[in-house]
Structure 1
Amino acid sequence: MFMGLDEVFLILSIVEFLVGILGNVFIGTVNCYEWVKNHKISLADFILTCLALSRIMQLVVYLFQSFLMGPGAHIYLTYKLGRLFSLLWRVAIHLTTWLATCLSIFYLLKIAQFSHSFFLWLKWRMNRVVLMTLVSSLAILIFDLLLLERLFISDYILDGSNLTSHPTERKTSQVNTLIILSMTYFIPFLLSLTSLVLLFLSLVRHTRNLQRNSMASRDSSTEAHKRAMKILLSFLLLSVVHFISTQLAIWLFSVLWRDMFVRFLVLVMYVLPTGHSFILILGNKKLGQAVLKVYGILKAY
């Protein structure tokens, strides 16, 4: 039978999973429909679609992890399942993080206004910069997977049907590998954070100029920029919270697998792939219009 804590944890995990799936499936469906209808897709919509698909994968991995931390915790102790889960977890985190980074860079180069020559050089090559960032991330993913494979090889030595571990040698190798894995996750986070902060500062400056020139705080363009700044701040907050919770989880999973604090971290980790999908819907005109159409259809019934 489930313990009380297991029940609460699994219910919250399932609720966050379903809400996140709803938002990301909606984004993917709308963009794929437009792609089929128009026989073309913009770079931003392509990244959004890939991000939605990767976050669906991420949410599935998180839900699987939640069940393993509940009544099925003993299953994780098997070597093959632990190895498979760790690889899927890393791939999902990597793809969603780098795709979100590419999206942040794209919006920075497309919307922000800076006079620095280097920024203008990047802006003129916007599509190429975003695509190169995405391709580079795949090389880092291969490096990450090789590191994980090395971690599992050093963690366990297969001897027939038995698994024997060497704690002293394993601990040093594990710490070194985890440090490198944390650094590879820090790179896209830093790029995304820098892009979002620069875009936010550009919007703040542009909003002040609009208010100064129009002399009307309710100017429609000013309100649009203020709404964009609120969306950016929300994403910034979600990104920071997700980065901290993920880093803590990476270091604590192997030690405190079923600890209450680790479960709380897992619930926090659901927030970014769930919440950011709705932030994207609110901030994207096409997706917002699609929501109104769906709402109108449902209201008619």
Structure 2
Amino acid sequence: MSFGTRVFFLAVSTGEFILGVLGNGFIGLVNCIEWVKNGKVSSADFILTCLAVARIIQLWVTLLDSFVVGLAPHLYATGKLVKVVILLWALTNHLTTWFATCLSIFYFFKIANFSHFFFMWLKWRMNRVLLVLFLASFFLLSFDLLMQDALGELWMNTFREPERNMTLHLDASKIFYLKSLILLSLTYVIPFLLSLASLLLLFLSLVRHTKNFQVNLNHSRDFNTEAHKRAMKMVTTFLLLFIIYFISTLIGNWIFLKLQWYEVMMFVMVVPTLFPSGHSFVIILGNSKLRQIAFRLLWGLKFYKN
């Protein structure tokens, strides 16, 4: 691989890391300050803070992985480092995915309005429902960790070969690809379906709300409608970024396993990082408190420079 390609890859990875740390760090810092100041924290702010911290750790792991691949890929031939990186990535990826999913479900329970007894029962116990759902998600993490040895072996076999001849055994590649496909389906499809269900139910709630109060023009109706729309925009953006994250990872792994292209592996590492980095700014713009603080901060910096 050429020197220019390495430099470009490391520059993009570093830029995504800086943006992601700034965005997620801002979310975590604002919520922590509010927590210390008020002595309590809302469920939404708690989920956002946990999501921000998990994403910062994930970005550090991804940056470490990028620099090892770009500068010293031979370190992965030993096996110890690759197993540590894979384990950390699997754990942080699980946490960020499910914290974001819990946030989508929280928006649904907090804003949607249905008269069904089962919905009211779940809404009344919303915090417990989210906690049980998050703890139950670790059952999927066990499937992820079970195949880490196969993934580590794949990377070791890759980097043990000369860079210009990274041929893998075809049978091993097929077996690993099938395992990775099953894993990705379990890890990504289930939280995706939960978030998609939250979005569809929010839309149904908005339709019912509009029909019931189409004659009433009070402020309560306007507030509820806007709350529905903001929540739907947040969940929709999350789903779109989530789809890009899933497809780029799946296709990139398939191309790399079949063709053994070193550059494709780097592309796979760069594109998914857009999800934890870009989604943080979407959260900031969609949250009124975070948005106002961010604008005041930017205005203050602009005034200070002038």
Match of 2:113 in 1: 113
Determine the C-alpha separation between the residues in 1 that align with 2:282 and 2:251: 25
CA offsets per residue over residues 33-77 of structure 1, 9 Å max, x none? 111112221222111111001111111222223223323333323
Match of 1:183 in 2: 185
1:249 positional shift: 4.3
Compared CA separation, residues 70 and 54, structure 1 to 2 (3 A): same
Match of 1:238 in 2: 241
Q: Give the 3-state SS of the residue equivalent to 2:41 in structure 1.
A: coil
Match of 2:21 in 1: 21
Compared CA separation, residues 291 and 171, structure 1 to 2 (3 A): closer
Match of 1:193 in 2: 196
Compared CA separation, residues 28 and 156, structure 1 to 2 (3 A): closer
Determine the C-alpha separation between the residues in 2 that align with 1:152 and 1:261: 18
The count of aligned residue pairs is 291
Unpaired runs of 5+ in structure 1?
158-165
CA offsets per residue over residues 131-178 of structure 1, 9 Å max, x none? 101211234324432442476589989xxxxxxxx9688567635643
Determine the C-alpha separation between the residues in 2 that align with 1:211 and 1:267: 47
TM-score by length of 2: 0.80
Q: Give the 3-state SS of the residue equivalent to 1:70 in structure 2.
A: helix
Q: What is the correspondence of 1:1-301 to structure 2 with a 5 Å cutoff?
A: 3-149=3-149, 152=152, 174-175=176-177, 177-185=179-187, 186-203=189-206, 206=209, 213-214=216-217, 222=225, 225-251=228-254, 258-301=261-304
User: Which has the higher mean CA deviation after the structures are superposed, 13-22 or 60-69?
Assistant: 60-69
1:262 positional shift: 3.6
Q: Give the 3-state SS of the residue equivalent to 2:71 in structure 1.
A: coil
1:257 positional shift: 6.1
Determine the C-alpha separation between the residues in 2 that align with 1:84 and 1:53: 19
Unpaired runs of 5+ in structure 2?
158-167
Determine the C-alpha separation between the residues in 2 that align with 1:201 and 1:65: 43
Compared CA separation, residues 247 and 121, structure 1 to 2 (3 A): farther
- Given that 1:69 and 1:257 are in contact with CA atoms closer than 8 Å, whether structure 2 keeps it comes out as no
AA paired with 1:181?
L
User: Which has the higher mean CA deviation after the structures are superposed, 61-70 or 25-34?
Assistant: 61-70
* RMSD after superposition: 3.3
Q: Give the 3-state SS of the residue equivalent to 1:41 in structure 2.
A: coil
User: Which has the higher mean CA deviation after the structures are superposed, 223-232 or 105-114?
Assistant: 223-232
Match of 1:162 in 2: none
AA paired with 2:133?
T
